[in-house]
Amino acid sequence: MTRAKHRKRRPLLTLLLILALFSLAGVAVHRFLPPLATILMVKQAAAGHGMDYRWRSLDRISPRLVEAVIAAEDARFCQHHGFDVEAIQKAMEANERAEQRGSDKRRGASTISQQTAKNVFLWPGRDWVRKGLEAGYTGLIEIGWGKRRIMEMYLNVAEWAPGVYGAEAASRHWFNKSADKLTASEAARLAAILPSPRRYKAANSGPYVRRRAARIQAAMGTVRQQGLDACVDRR
């Protein structure tokens, strides 16, 4: 390699090193401290939706909600290492069939770990840069945090209504109670609205949410019986 090429590559390598150190530092800090806010929270607040965000440790959140989100969002949460290869393959096959039919509907395969990485560190969107960063952060939190911390973070920063973030704020917003008092039915309804929390309601729900919540609540029994939440230490 000539000296000229080496000089040209040096700024790029320096930038990559800075980004890597920044990412590692962020993951290390949030292993122990909750985020003050996320990019989505700030964006929604700027749009006039406010920000109701109340951090609670996992011990102060009903285990029914853990079961509900695993049943609804990521049944293999305790088995994969951040990426569910089987779900990705099924999603690709389903999307290929949808494309052949001329349908715009696309099936996703994001795990709870991927969603947590996106929610905590990145911005909303579907561009390839963000997806690449999401993959990197997902690997880092799987190694640096472990499943319990990932679940704790996920339940605390997920959006459950416009401007409402985390299980505690969601529980009080929809059911006027603290998150540790959630019943199985209430937890299932909260999990049922996660794909579109600005569109659906967990309380006074419409037919779609009621049907989806009923399926989730039934699946929560499987989560308990088969120990699909065993990696989330409920000390």
Residue 176, domain member (yes or no):
yes
Residue 54, domain member (yes or no):
yes
Indicate which CATH number applies to the domain containing 186: 1.10.3810.10
pLDDT score, position 4:
55
Domain holding 215, by residue range, is 34-226
Phi and psi at 159, nearest 5°, equal -90, 130
Task: Give this prediction's pTM.
Answer: 0.89
Q: What is the pLDDT of residues 172-214, one digit of tens each?
A: 999 999 999 999 999 999 999 998 999 999 999 999 999 999 9
* Sequence-distant (≥ 6) Cβ neighbours of residue 48 within 8 angstroms: none
* Sequence-distant (≥ 6) Cβ neighbours of residue 164 within 8 angstroms: 52, 170, 173, 197
Q: What is the pLDDT of residues 10-38, one digit of tens each?
A: 777 777 778 778 889 999 999 999 999 99
Residue 91, domain member (yes or no):
yes
pLDDT score, position 184:
98
* Sequence-distant (≥ 6) Cβ neighbours of residue 26 within 8 angstroms: 121
* Sequence-distant (≥ 6) Cβ neighbours of residue 115 within 8 angstroms: 73, 154, 158
Which pLDDT band, with edges at 50, 70 and 90, does 56 fall under?
very high
Q: Position of tokens 């800075």?
A: 18
CA angle at residue 175 from 162 to 111, to 5 degrees? 55
Establish how many alpha carbons lie within 13 A of residue 12's alpha carbon, considering only the half-sphere containing its beta carbon: 5
The whole-number average pLDDT for the span 163-167 is 97
93/231: higher pLDDT: 231
pLDDT score, position 91:
62
The rounded distance, in Å, linking the Cα atoms of 235 and 212 is 30
pLDDT score, position 183:
98
Residue 87, domain member (yes or no):
yes
Residue 139, domain member (yes or no):
yes
Residue 51, domain member (yes or no):
yes
Mean pLDDT over all residues of the chain? 89
pLDDT score, position 126:
80
The whole-number average pLDDT for the span 157-183 is 98
**In the chain, how many domains are there?**
1
Residue 15, domain member (yes or no):
no
For residue 88, what are the CA distances in angstroms to 108, 110, 142? 8, 8, 18
Residue 215, domain member (yes or no):
yes
Q: Position of tokens 């999603």?
A: 91
